[in-house]
């Protein structure tokens, strides 16, 4: 198969990510909105929403929320006040940043393989089905990918001390987004020491430690008054709450990787990677990936997004192992060609589905709808153990969330809140809750609109109703 030039591949990947920026609105999961986006949103309040007045610093670094705050501030200064428009700007910027992973994938592949494997690695990262969708989300896992890959490339090249110093800075940047990425340079240091490259291992260790101290350490000291306060808080909170998570099986991430690489071809590709004997590929690329997966397999909290930072590196290893290995029966067989055909068809279908999906549409659009309604001054959101993405309610107005558990004290708050509008999120027994709400607020409700979930949310809800509560949102106004 004739592959496009890397420049063309980068443009294809950029185009897909920009399409996602325009069409894949909303948020994917809890963390990319409420943990990351909601922080800088709160900073516009007079008391910063209490964000900086805590007994314990938050576990996540202040760096990424600060970047988002700067973006939001710039938008407001140039007159972009609509939340949907602000998020479009943010998604476009994330798409541009995420595109850096494509030439970096080619650069890493070129260090351990051939120019053709570099082209193939770039192509896989550019068009891999989940990347455009995830690249425009506010996810620390996705933000850590470009600096993480830059660090790996610089260590593989290590033409001078300067490369190792820059690698330390790159790994520190990845660390500030996602602490777990420290596993990658730590494993590379161990591998280099095992290979008796003492000078390189020592310089890389010093560069990483110094860079982290001068970035994350100094920032925490300035913001929280304590050196490395955020990572320490993160470790402490996870150790204290380790029993609060539902522990998946040890092999969960292995199964996940096999699944996202699209079986049955994924089994063939992973086997070729594992059995590739080239030292650089095996020890300096594959070993850090394996240790990263192993470390995450040992902890109780296993979420799919945690594995995202190493997926591009794994695609690089797959490309090199597939393209540069000598031809054999497995590679040229009719079965393998059929598996590749299935891979590209499935990848294309999933790519289209995800890239054009409006995630959490029913929740986001409910508040966007209310933002354009006259006489809207107080909003009550009633749902089953969910949070309302209040960022999309503009202008900022009082909003409360009420539990679907009618014995909850939130219903007492509703009685004195006097909402102008009520939104039901993901409630099966709508009529019963409407009657209950009318009784509590003392006024009848008038139906305004139903907002259906997007195609992806509806599909995921059909496949797993208990795990994906993305049903229709219903908006009512309270009669005066």
Contact of 383 with 404, CB cutoff 8 Å: yes
pLDDT given at position 296 = 94
**Cα–Cα nearest to 152, from 173, 132, 136:** 173
User: Looking at per-residue confidence, does 59 or 142 come out higher?
Assistant: 142
User: Using CA atoms, how far apart are residues 362 and 325, in angstroms rounded to an integer?
Assistant: 48
- What's the confidence (pLDDT) of residue 332? 63
- Res. 371: pLDDT tops 60: yes
> 335 or 141: whose pLDDT is higher?
141
Q: Confidence class of residue 71 from pLDDT cuts 50, 70 and 90?
A: very high
More confident residue, 35 or 229: 229
More confident: 106 or 34: 106
Contact 220, 230 (CB under 8 A): yes
Has residue 390 got a pLDDT over 90?
no
27-36, 273-282, 411-420, 464-473: least confident range: 464-473
How many whole angstroms from its chain centre is CA 267?
A: 25
For the cut 90, the answer to whether the pLDDT of residue 144 exceeds it is: yes
The CATH fold of domain 361-478 = Rossmann fold (3.40.50)
pLDDT at residue 24 greater than cutoff 90: yes
According to CATH, where is 3.40.50 located in the chain? 361-478
Mean pLDDT value across residues 166-193 = 98
Task: Flag the least confident range among 8-17, 200-209, 420-429.
Answer: 420-429
**Measured distance CA(76)–CA(78) in Å, rounded:** 5
pLDDT computed for residue 458 by the predictor: 82
pLDDT digits over 81-90, tens only?
999 999 999 9
Spatial distance between the Cα atoms of 92 and 24, rounded to a whole number of angstroms: 11
More confident residue, 459 or 189: 189
Query: Quick check: 125 and 311 in contact, CB under 8 A?
Result: no
């Amino acid at each position: 198969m004739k592959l496009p030039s890397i420049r063309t591949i980068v443009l294809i990947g950029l185009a897909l990510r920009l399409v996602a920026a325009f069409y894949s609105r909303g948020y994917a999961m809890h963390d990319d909105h409420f943990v990351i986006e909601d922080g800088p949103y709160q900073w516009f309040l007079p008391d910063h929403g209490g964000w900086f007045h805590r007994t314990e610093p938050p576990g996540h670094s202040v760096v990424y929320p600060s970047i988002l705050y700067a973006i939001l501030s710039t938008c407001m200064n140039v007159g972009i006040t609509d939340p949907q428009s602000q998020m479009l700007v943010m998604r476009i910027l994330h798409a541009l940043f995420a595109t850096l992973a494509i030439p970096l994938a080619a650069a890493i592949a070129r260090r351990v393989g051939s120019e053709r494997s570099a082209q193939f690695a770039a192509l896989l990262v550019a068009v891999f089905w989940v990347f455009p969708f995830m690249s425009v989300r506010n996810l620390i896992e996705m933000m850590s990918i470009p600096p993480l890959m830059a660090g790996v490339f610089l260590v593989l090249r290590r033409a001078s001390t300067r490369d190792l110093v820059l690698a330390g800075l790159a790994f520190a940047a990845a660390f500030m987004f996602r602490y777990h990425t420290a596993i990658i340079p730590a494993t590379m240091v161990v591998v280099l020491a095992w290979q008796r490259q003492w000078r390189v291992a020592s310089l890389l260790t010093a560069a990483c430690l110094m860079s982290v101290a001068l970035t994350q350490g100094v920032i925490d000291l300035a913001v929280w008054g304590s050196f490395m306060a955020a990572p320490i808080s993160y470790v402490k909170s996870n150790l204290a709450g380790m029993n609060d998570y539902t522990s998946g099986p040890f092999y969960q991430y292995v199964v996940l990787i096999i699944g996202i690489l699209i079986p049955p071809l994924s089994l063939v590709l992973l086997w070729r990677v594992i059995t590739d004997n080239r030292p650089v590929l095996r020890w300096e690329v594959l070993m850090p990936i394996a240790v990263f997966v192993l470390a995450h397999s040992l902890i109780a909290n296993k979420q799919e997004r945690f594995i995202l930072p190493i997926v591009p590196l794994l695609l690089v290893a797959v490309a090199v192992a597939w393209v540069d290995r000598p031809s054999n029966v497995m590679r040229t067989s009719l079965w393998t060609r059929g598996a590749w055909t299935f891979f590209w068809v499935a990848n294309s279908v999933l790519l289209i589905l995800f890239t054009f999906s409006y995630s959490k549409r029913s929740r986001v659009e409910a508040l966007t709808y209310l933002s354009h309604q006259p006489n809207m001054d107080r909003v009550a959101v009633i749902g089953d153990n969910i949070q309302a993405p209040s960022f999309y309610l503009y202008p900022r107005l009082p909003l409360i969330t009420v539990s679907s558990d009618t014995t909850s004290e939130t219903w007492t708050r509703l009685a004195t809140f006097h909402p102008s509008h009520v939104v039901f999120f993901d409630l099966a027994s709508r009529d019963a809750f409407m009657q209950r709400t009318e009784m509590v607020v003392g006024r009848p409700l008038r139906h305004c609109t139903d907002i259906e979930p997007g195609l992806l949310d509806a599909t995921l809800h059909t496949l797993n109703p208990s795990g994906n509560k993305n049903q229709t949102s219903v908006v009512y106004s309270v009669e005066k």
